[in-house]
Amino acid sequence: MDILHLIDRLEELLGEARRLPVGGGAVMSRQRLADLIDRMRVAVPREVYESREVLEKRDEILRAAHEEAALLLAEAKAQMEEQLKETAVVKAAEERAKEVVTQAQERARNLLVDAEEQARGRLDEAQQASRAQMREADVYALQTLKKLELELDGFLATVRKGIASLEQRAAERPGG
């Protein structure tokens, strides 16, 4: 069932609701409203749910990337502190720590970019699939309506022949 049709039904249900004398509230059948909501859920295209899953997966990947970046930063700080404690070559330790932090930040950026690209790609695929299904449904509906039109034209021709035949018989009878 078309989601837009169901939204129209929801609007009609609201129009049929009794208005409360105070405030802007209205009273309507809870069962009818629940039934309409259930039908709306069923009518939502599968791609919408898939898009939501893709976005959740993207958020999960982003969280993992942030966690990994935080771990890498913590490791870099721990390494830097250890090297400072050893006081061997403080300058070398600072440079190494900066490299590790830069690498961690670069890796985190790359993970974020990859996750966003993957999410965008899946969302685009879902939208394209949805459009293709809508086009297929429109083509099927058009073909079905054309077949129905042909059948109705055939029925109409048969009815007209029957009428003409009866009129001819009536005209051929004496006194008719």
Q: If pLDDT is split at 50, 70 and 90, which confidence band does 63 have?
A: very high
pTM: 0.34
- The pLDDT tens digits for 65-100 are 999 999 999 998 888 788 777 766 667 778 888 999
The answer to whether 38 and 106 are in contact (CB under 8 A) is: no
18-33 pLDDT, tens per residue?
A: 888 888 888 888 898 8
Q: How many CB atoms lie within 10 A of CB 65?
A: 19
Report residue 107 as tokens. 């890796």
Residues paired with residue 18 on neighbouring β-strands, in sequence order: 27
* Residue 159: per-residue pLDDT: 95
Q: Distance between CA atoms of 14 and 7, rounded to whole angstroms?
A: 11
pLDDT of 67 reads 93
Is the pLDDT at 42 greater than 80? The verdict is: yes
Amino acid identity for residue 107 in this structure = R
In the chain, domain spans: 1-44, 46-129
pLDDT of residue 83: 74
14: left (phi over 0), alpha (psi -120 to 50) or beta: alpha
- Which tokens hold the place of 46? 């599968």
